[in-house]
């Protein structure tokens, strides 16, 4: 068992690889009442086309299938697995995003019994024609809920502007039409391909015993034979954006906007990606964060309000920044932003070190919550990053790195404006 | 867990909870007012104060100072607990264990400066700040419509409590915002800071005496005629159920049912009511989840929410528009099942355990702890979390059936689509 320390935040985690290929991480949190576990597979809505190990022809699957599969995993031959968690006083849940499907529970009691339940149910699919059909009505309502959510539409319209063919532009839950094509055979096929322990990770956190976790993993996780690797097929995405403007009308009180910048510095994970991630966050804070000149100008001009926010999303095979909020004139916001970008020729030391302090403080703070730690851990793990490396990576970043990122990444050619209008 | 309480001035109570497991120290300051024609003004104050103080004159200066304090979080929010409107100022700073310096006193000084030492010119707030924040507040009021799920619940409550102060939106209305200027807002501020109840909660690995010392030193106000916010009226008899429909540009219908619980926040019956709400719609074990979602595939979400301080229970779900009648019938049937004692041991036990677990989880968050203690204070109960859990564990199925008899359906609200 490998011990990983971070002296600055005084946390450690234990790592070990089960013989099935499953990676297990345990982070003890003394004094915390809540316990949390996530069992996740490296499989999300982006995996629309792939070659199953042992086969030679690609398989295409309907959009929304990873999410559909997530819903159906909770069904057991004997009923719903929710029932077993509820009897233990635990709360079970799951989520699917572009790259990951994750099953989780939180509890304050019966942790080891809940952990067994989690490992067992995720390894035990039970799909029938009837239970698959039944789920379509529920997911249809979930899709409708998102269709009526202006922020969600705004976000996907922006992705549609950034990307020509990359699957990230497709809604995670699919459409009512695409999910109608899902049946039990195709669910089993996806399950058998992606829910192999070697494609999965377990993260547990709380005031718990590391050895006892290992014992339960050894008992519960089954080794399965596997010939070769999954080959994921992604279309070739051009570096240029698809459209620089997307607009939709919805029932909102004033225009909402997302300005997206497409990142083409992609194709790697690990510490290098973490460095790109943090460097870009520093850029965004200096450019348009709450202490920036631009924020002050736009705010005083009545062009933005406190909903205005900046974010970078850095994945292995794609990346983008989002600058968004609500505004009476989103075009004017974009114009001011582009003008500001082209006027940046140096990075002020005071700004740079202040933002670094802020990001470091926020990182330390995130270790207050077992949920935040678990979710951040999984999100970074899927990019081959260990969350505890944050402090050493941020320390290495220099003002020159930030300036270089400004020059190479932020420009009008890779920028999309998405608006939802009343 | 021990919490130390001290009166630092007339009507200002400081609570300190020393716990060493957190990475941060949280400071929460709550100022309370009664919902009234002053609501819009009271709601505007925090955002004007956040724009600039005597020592940090602009939003940018304040933000830079917070960033220097290792990204200290400083946020305010306005909400209501019953007919009490609360302005919450939340500050969260990294504990000195993880830094080369201790920033607690600096932080107390900062928060005191923003709240008590505002930027004043000619006996008023800075005019441009007030104007801009008024616009922002009006935009926020108008943009309630954006989040349909939340809006459908707020609209139900609004219609339900039409002739009660509880129907006042926490940010007030646009007309009242329009009447505000830098002078009358400052007049109101002077009165508010002198007379309204203030509660301060500090949670983290702190030296209790130091915390008291810092607040006594920096958080200094002259206080007179401190107001007492009256308890919110709860009991209400319903003669006729109201049916309300809003037509909007949506694809999914949102159905909300508003019930009167007729249970006061301090009543012993509040504990069975909590479990009742759980059995009905508090998780995957609940009647609504099992019937509306799993059995009938009518909805993705179908759940309940209690408003302890107004005696309301809301049932909310998102459905296909054509399924309105069916969903309404099934939801009401679940309530009837509870009234006629059709509660399984599984539903009951799961609901109790889920509640106990979420109560215990409060101990893992400084801000949730502060909110818990504030709620105890407002309900005139002096329970610790463990006391609260003991109360929950004593409840029987019969207690739930008894309290269910007090439930009265008041309003059925439906958000549906525009017919074109």
Chain centroid to Cα A78, Å, comes to 32
Residues of A in contact with B132 (CB under 8 A): 299-300, 302
ipTM: 0.94
Which residues 208-247 on chain B approach chain A with CB closer than 8 angstroms?
Answer: none
CA distance, residue B193 to nearest chain A CA (Å): 25
In chain A, which residues have their Cβ closer than 8 Å to the Cβ of B63? 290-291
Measure in Å the smallest separation between the Cα of A357 and chain B Cα atoms: 5
Residues on chain B touching A88 (C-beta within 8 angstroms): 353
Q: Where are the alpha helices (DSSP H) in B207-282?
A: 208-218, 270-281
Could you give the CA distance from residue B69 to residue B60 in angstroms, rounded to a whole number? 14
Of B140, B300, B353, the CB nearest to A145: B300
Domain boundaries, chain B: 3-218, 242-417
Within 10 A of A339 (CB to CB), how many other CB atoms are there? 11
State the CATH architecture for B242-417: 2-Layer Sandwich (3.30)
Strand A415-421 to A256-262 pairing = antiparallel
- Give domain limits for chain A: 2-232, 245-421
For B184-204, the DSSP string reads HHHHHHHHHHHHS-EEEEEEE
Secondary structure class of A345 (helix, strand, coil): coil
Cα angle at A177 between A175 and A179, to 5 degrees? 70
CATH of domain B3-218: 3.30.830.10
> Scanning the structure block, which residue is given the tokens 């920033």?
B103
| Alpha-carbon separation of residue A316 from A238, A372, A383, B412 (angstroms) | 16, 21, 6, 49
Looking at residues A111-136, what average pLDDT do you find? 97
Residues 110-129, chain B, touching A (beta carbon < 8 A): 128
The CA distance from B314 to B327, in Å, is 15
Q: Do residues B152 and B415 make contact, with C-beta atoms less than 8 angstroms apart?
A: yes
Residue B205 to residue A145: CA distance in whole angstroms: 43
Rg (CA), chain A: 22
Q: Which of A89, A205, A307 to mutate to probe the B interface, most B CBs <10 Å?
A: A89
Mean local confidence (pLDDT), B68-77: 97
Angle value at C-alpha B45, between B176 and A298, nearest 5 degrees: 90
The answer to whether the Cβ–Cβ distance between B67 and A291 falls below 8 Å is yes
pLDDT score, position B11 = 85
- Please compute the mean of the pLDDT values over residues B316-332 and round it to a whole number: 96
Whether the per-residue pLDDT at A329 is higher than 90: the answer is yes
CA-based nearest residue in chain B for residue A71? B300
Residues 306-335 of A with CB under 8 A from B: 306, 326
Q: Chain A closest CA to B173's CA: distance in Å?
A: 15
Q: For residue A131, give the 3-state DSSP assignment.
A: helix
> Are B3-218 and B242-417 equal in CATH topology?
yes
Judged by a CB distance cut-off of 8 A, whether residue B263 touches chain A is: no
Say if residues B67 and B110 touch (Cβ distance below 8 Å): no
Q: pLDDT value at position A226?
A: 82
Tokens for B187, please give them: 């007049």
Q: Residue for token digits 């042992």?
A: A54
Judged by phi (left if over 0) then psi (alpha if -120 to 50, else beta), residue B82 lies in left
* B97-to-A345, B14, B94, B205 alpha-carbon distances in Å: 38, 24, 8, 9
Question: What CA–CA distance (Å, rounded) separates A366 from A359?
Answer: 11
Mean local confidence (pLDDT), A150-156: 97
Q: What is the DSSP string of B310-354?
A: TTEEEEEEEE-GGGHHHHHHHHHHHHHHHHTT---HHHHHHHHHH
Of the candidates A82, A102, A94, the one whose C-alpha atom is nearest the C-alpha of residue B289 is A82
**What proportion of chain B, given as a percentage, has pLDDT over 70?**
100
Place of tokens 């909870």: B17
| Cβ under 8 Å to B: A residues 57-96 | 80, 82-83, 85-92
Which structure tokens are listed for B106? Answer: 């600096």
- What residues in A contact B140, CB-CB < 8 Å? 305
- Report the C-alpha gap between B113 and B33 in whole angstroms: 21
The predicted-structure confidence for B225-277, as pLDDT tens digits, reads as follows 999 999 999 999 999 999 999 999 999 999 999 999 999 999 999 999 999 99
Size of interface A-B (CB pairs under 8 A): 184
The span from the CA of A326 to the CA of B323, in Å, is 34
Question: Rounded to the nearest 5°, which phi and psi values hold at A398?
Answer: -115, 165
Round to whole Å and give the CA distance between A402 and A42.
Answer: 31
> Burial level of B251, CB count in 10 A (0-12/13-18/19+)?
middle
* Contact (CB<8Å) B71/A370: no
Cα three-residue angle B251-B256-B260, rounded to 5 degrees:
170
Task: Look at strands B312-319 and B253-260 and give their pairing.
Answer: antiparallel
- Cα distance between residue A398 and residue A404, in whole Å: 10
CB contact under 8 A, A150 and B146: yes
What residues in A contact B74, CB-CB < 8 Å? none
State the smallest CA–CA distance between residue B357 and chain A in angstroms.
6
Per-residue burial over A207-229, b if 16 or more Cβ lie within 10 Å, else e, is ebebeebbebbeebbeeeebeee
Mutate which of A248, A325, A368 to disrupt the B interface (most B C-beta within 10 Å)? A368
User: Given an 8 Å threshold on Cβ–Cβ distance, is A141 in contact with B320?
Assistant: yes
- Give the C-alpha separation, B405 to A275, whole Å: 60
CA distance A184 to A65: 11
pLDDT digits (tens, 9 = 90+) for B372-393: 999 999 999 989 999 999 999 9
Per-residue model confidence (pLDDT) at position B420? 60
Q: What is the distance, to the nearest Å, from the Cα of residue B106 to the centroid of all Cα atoms in its chain? A: 28
Q: Least CA distance to A148: which residue of chain B?
A: B250
Which residues does residue B368 pair with via DSSP β-bridges, in sequence order? none
Q: Of B310, B38, B30, B312, which is closest to residue B170 (Cα–Cα)? A: B38
What is the dotted CATH code of the domain comprising A2-232? 3.30.830.10
Q: Which of B71, B149, B300 sits opposite A361 (nearest CB)?
A: B71
Contacts of B364 in chain A (CB under 8 A): 32-34, 369-370
- Write down the mean pLDDT value for chain A: 96
Q: Is the pLDDT at A358 greater than 60, yes or no?
A: yes
Task: Establish if A51 touches chain B: CB-CB under 8 angstroms.
Answer: no
CB contacts under 8 A, A 249-268 vs B, are 250-254, 256
Assign domain A245-421 to its CATH architecture.
2-Layer Sandwich (3.30)
B94 interface with A at CB cutoff 8 Å:
yes
The pLDDT assigned to B138 comes to: 96
The pLDDT value given to residue B9: 81
Residues of B in contact with A292 (CB under 8 A): 60
> Can you read off the two tokens belonging to residue A17?
């690889």
- Given an 8 Å threshold on Cβ–Cβ distance, is A9 in contact with B23? yes
Interface test with B, best of A31, A35, A68, A86 (most B CBs within 10 A): A86
Residues 106-125 of A with CB under 8 A from B: 106-109
Count, residues in chain B = 420
pLDDT digits (tens, 9 = 90+) for B150-197: 999 999 999 999 999 999 999 999 999 999 999 999 999 999 999 999
CB contact under 8 A, A300 and B132: yes
3-state secondary structure of B298: coil
Pairing of strands B84-94, B24-34: antiparallel
Q: For the residues B96-114, what does the mean pLDDT come to?
A: 96
Q: Which sequence positions of A are flagged as catalytic?
A: 70
Confidence (pLDDT) at A228:
82
Please answer whether residues B327 and B251 qualify as being in contact, where contact means their C-beta atoms are separated by less than 8 angstroms.
Answer: no
Nearest C-alpha in B relative to A74: B284
Counted residue by residue, chain A has a size of 422
């Amino acid at each position: 068992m490998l011990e990983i320390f971070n002296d600055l935040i005084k946390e450690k985690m234990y790592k070990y690889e089960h013989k099935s290929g499953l990676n297990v991480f345990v982070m003890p949190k003394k004094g915390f009442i809540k316990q949390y576990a996530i069992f996740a597979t490296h499989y999300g809505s982006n995996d629309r086309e792939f070659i199953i190990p042992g086969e030679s022809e690609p398989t295409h699957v309907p959009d929304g299938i990873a999410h559909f599969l997530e819903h159906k995993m909770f069904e057991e031959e004997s009923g719903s697995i929710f029932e077993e968690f509820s009897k233990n006083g635990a709360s079970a849940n799951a989520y699917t995003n572009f790259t990951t499907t994750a099953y989780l529970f939180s509890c304050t009691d019966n942790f080891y019994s809940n952990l067994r339940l989690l490992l067992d149910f995720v390894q035990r699919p039970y799909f029938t024609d009837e239970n698959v059909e039944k789920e379509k009505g529920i997911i249809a309502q979930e899709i409708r809920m998102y269709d009526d959510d202006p922020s969600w539409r705004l976000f996907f319209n922006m992705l549609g502007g950034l990307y020509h063919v990359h699957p990230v532009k497709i809604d995670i839950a699919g459409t009512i039409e695409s999910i109608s094509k899902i049946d039990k055979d195709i669910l089993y096929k996806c399950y058998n391909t992606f829910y192999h322990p070697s494609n999965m990770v377990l993260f547990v956190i709380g005031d718990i015993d590391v050895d006892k976790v290992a014992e339960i993993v050894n008992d519960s996780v089954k080794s399965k034979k596997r010939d070769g690797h999954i080959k994921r097929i992604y279309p070739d995405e051009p570096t240029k954006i698809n459209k620089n403007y997307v607009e939709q009308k919805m029932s909102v009180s004033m225009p909402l906007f997302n300005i997206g910048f497409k990142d083409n510095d992609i194709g790697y994970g690990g510490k290098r990606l973490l460095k790109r991630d943090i460097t870009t966050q520093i850029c965004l804070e200096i450019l348009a964060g709450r202490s920036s000149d631009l924020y002050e100008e736009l705010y005083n001009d009545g062009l933005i309000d406190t909903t205005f926010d900046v974010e970078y999303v850095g994945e292995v095979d794609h990346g983008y920044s989002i600058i968004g909020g609500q505004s009476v004139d989103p075009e004017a916001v974009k114009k001011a932003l582009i003008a500001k970008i082209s006027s940046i020729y140096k990075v002020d030391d005071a700004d740079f070190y202040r933002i670094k302090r802020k990001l470091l403080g926020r990182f330390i703070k995130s270790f207050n919550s077992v949920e935040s730690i678990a979710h951040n851990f999984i999100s970074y793990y899927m990019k081959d990053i260990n969350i505890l490396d944050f402090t050493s990576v941020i320390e290495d970043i220099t003002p020159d790195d930030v300036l270089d990122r400004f020059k190479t990444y932020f420009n009008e050619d890779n920028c999309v404006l998405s608006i939802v209008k009343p | 867990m021990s919490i130390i309480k001290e009166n630092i001035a007339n009507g200002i109570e400081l609570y300190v909870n020393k716990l060493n497991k957190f990475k941060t120290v949280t400071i929460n300051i709550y100022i309370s007012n009664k919902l009234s024609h002053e609501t819009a003004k009271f709601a505007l104050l925090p955002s004007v104060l956040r724009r600039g103080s005597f020592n940090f004159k602009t939003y940018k200066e304040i933000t830079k100072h917070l960033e220097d304090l290792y990204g200290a979080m400083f946020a305010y929010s306005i909400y209501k607990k019953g007919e009490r409107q609360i302005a919450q100022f939340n500050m969260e700073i990294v504990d000195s264990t993880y830094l080369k310096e201790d920033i607690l006193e600096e932080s107390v000084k900062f928060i005191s400066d923003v709240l008590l030492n505002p930027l004043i010119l000619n006996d008023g707030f800075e005019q441009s700040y007030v104007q801009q924040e008024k616009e922002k507040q009006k935009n926020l009021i108008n943009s309630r419509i954006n989040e349909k799920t939340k809006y459908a619940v707020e609209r139900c409550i609004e219609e339900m409590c039409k002739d009660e102060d509880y129907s006042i939106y926490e940010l007030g209305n646009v007309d009242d915002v329009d009447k505000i200027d830098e002078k009358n807002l400052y007049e109101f501020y002077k009165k508010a800071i002198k007379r309204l109840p203030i509660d301060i909660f500090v949670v983290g690995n702190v030296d209790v005496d130091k915390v008291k010392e810092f607040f006594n030193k920096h958080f200094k106000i002259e206080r007179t005629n401190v107001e007492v916010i009256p308890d919110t009226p709860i009991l209400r008899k319903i003669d006729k159920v109201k049916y309300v429909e809003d037509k909007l540009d949506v694809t999914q219908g949102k159905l909300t049912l508003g019930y009167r619980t007729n249970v006061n926040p301090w009543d012993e019956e509040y504990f069975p009511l909590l479990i009742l709400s759980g059995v009905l719609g508090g998780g995957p074990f609940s009647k609504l989840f099992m019937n509306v979602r799993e059995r009938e595939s009518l909805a993705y979400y179908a759940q309940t929410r209690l408003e302890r301080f107004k005696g309301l229970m809301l049932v909310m779900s998102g459905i296909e528009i054509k399924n309105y009648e069916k969903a309404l019938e099934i939801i009401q049937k679940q309530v009837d099942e509870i009234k006629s004692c059709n509660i399984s041991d599984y539903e009951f036990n799961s609901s109790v355990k889920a509640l106990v677990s979420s109560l215990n989880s409060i101990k893992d968050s400084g801000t949730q702890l502060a909110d818990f203690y504030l709620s105890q204070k407002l309900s005139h109960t002096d329970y610790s979390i463990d006391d609260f859990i003991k109360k929950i564990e004593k409840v029987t199925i019969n207690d739930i059936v008894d309290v269910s008899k007090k439930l009265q359906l008041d309003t059925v609200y439906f958000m549906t689509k525009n017919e074109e």
